[in-house]
Amino acid sequence: MCHVIVTCRSMLWTLLSIVVAFAELIAFMSADWLIGKAKPSSSDDVDNRTGGSQEPYYPTLGIYGRCTRISHMQLSRRDTLCGPYAENFNEIASGFWQATAIFLAVGIMILCAVAFVSVFTMCVQSIMKKSIFNVCGLLQGIAGLFLILGLILYPAGWGCQKAISYCGHYASAYKLGDCSLGWAFYTAIGGTVLTFICAVFSAQAEIATSSDKVQEEIEEGKNLICLL
């Protein structure tokens, strides 16, 4: 018989697992890893309302995507165009970024799998006599290691021609040049830290769902068990 067991610690672990997976996925897909040096508006790009030139804009570059501004001369407006600059894996700007993409993709796939499984831990707490919380915690720790490897290798690709075109000639491996780091990079770092927190906290979720109070509720014949 399936017993639905809900505790504060198990629910918090489940929510954190889902948040971490989505945060890493969004960061990976974003083009806001590097914010390029300011691009001045062209002499033809004039604000019709003020008569002055528009403010400079900052193009952004991701692992496989980029955002830049395009002008519509006839319509007197400018739009930001975002999309992949690489049509396939081999066209990613740097070998280091290719390795980063692989490590991050593996880590994110593991995190998404754990997030999916975590939803069902309310009803199923073990499989083949192994605690699902402990197994998921181990997988989250492994995912965190993949994420760390990816984030360590990413700055090594700042010396590629694509990055130099955005960051200037002073850009090189682990040197940003005229660029700055975007929110996606910081989100990936924060997600990695939370991944290890989830891995550790999974043990607390296991303790909470196998406590004496839970066992007493099960012995009383309750199918829905909610404990603070």
Q: In the chain, what percentage of residues exceed pLDDT 90?
A: 52
For residue 4, what pLDDT band results from cuts at 50, 70 and 90? confident
Amino acid (one-letter) located at 204 = Q
Residue 118 to residues 17, 69, 143, 221, Cα–Cα distance (Å): 7, 41, 15, 24
Residue 167 to residues 59, 113, 180, Cα–Cα distance (Å): 10, 36, 8
- Tell me what pLDDT residue 205 has: 86
> Each residue of 138-163: pLDDT tens digit?
999 999 999 999 999 999 999 999 99
- Tell me what pLDDT residue 52 has: 46
Q: In the chain, what percentage of residues exceed pLDDT 70?
A: 81
Provide the Cα torsion 13, 19, 22, 26; round to 10°. Answer: -140
Q: Using CB atoms within 10 A of its CB, is residue 209 exposed (0-12), middle (13-18) or buried (19+)?
A: buried
Q: Are the CB atoms for 97 and 154 separated by under 8 Å?
A: yes
- Tell me what pLDDT residue 187 has: 97
Query: In this structure, how many other beta carbons lie within 10 angstroms of the beta carbon of residue 187?
Result: 18
- Tell me what pLDDT residue 126 has: 73
Using the predicted structure, report yes or no on whether residue 129 has a pLDDT greater than 90.
no
Specify the range with the lowest mean pLDDT, choosing from 7-11, 18-22, 94-98, 112-116: 7-11
For residue 51, what pLDDT band results from cuts at 50, 70 and 90? very low
- Tell me what pLDDT residue 41 has: 55
List the chain domain ranges. 4-37+90-226
Residues 6+ apart with CB under 8 A from 77: 71
> Each residue of 178-194: pLDDT tens digit?
999 999 999 999 999 99
Residue 131 to residues 6, 49, 156, Cα–Cα distance (Å): 16, 65, 39
pLDDT top residue among 46 and 183: 183
What is the rounded CA–CA span in Å between residue 212 and residue 7?
13
- Tell me what pLDDT residue 25 has: 97
Q: What element of type H or E holds 72?
A: strand 65-72
Evaluate the CA torsion angle 144, 145, 146, 149 in order and state its sign.
positive
Give the CATH class of 4-37+90-226. Answer: mainly alpha
What is the rounded CA–CA span in Å between residue 69 and residue 17?
36
